[in-house]
Amino acid sequence: MIHDVHAGLAKLPLVSIDLNTVQTNIIIFNLKPGAPDKAVFLKNLRERHGVLMTAFLGGVRAVTHYDVGSADCQYALRAVEDCLQLGAVQSNGEVSGKAKADLHQRVNGSLKGYE
C-alpha cells in the first residue's frame, strides 16, 4: 500500500519523490517549481480535505498508520492532486472561479463516508 502512495505521488507533475528510498510508512516529497507555496498547499490540504501533512527539511512529510487503509491513501492522493492543480490555488489560499467548481465536484464524491 505505501509503495502505491509513493508511486501515485511520483506521477504528479509538481511533485518530486525518490522511489528508491521507500522503506517505511513515512512519505517525504518535494514540491517542484510552479507548485503552490508550501504553506498554502499544507493549509489547503488540512482545511479543505482534512489531510494533515507537515513541512519537513524543505519538503513535505506524511505518515501513514496501521489504521490507514487503501481508500484513505487514495483520498489523500486526490487531495494532494487537487491542491497542486495549476491555477487552482491562489497565493492567499483561496480557490478561484472554475477551479473552485471543479474542485468541489471532484472532491464532493470523495468525502462520502468521511463526513
Q: Which residue has the cell 511520483?
A: 10
59-86 per-position pLDDT tens digit: 999 988 888 888 888 999 999 999 998 4
40-62 per-position pLDDT tens digit: 899 999 998 999 999 998 899 99
Which amino acid does the sequence have at 50? G
Could you tell me the pLDDT band of residue 94, with boundaries at 50, 70 and 90? Answer: low
Contacts of 45 (CB under 8 A, 6+ apart): 51, 52, 53, 79, 80, 83
pTM, to two decimals:
0.70
**Cβ(27)–Cβ(63) below 8 Å:** yes
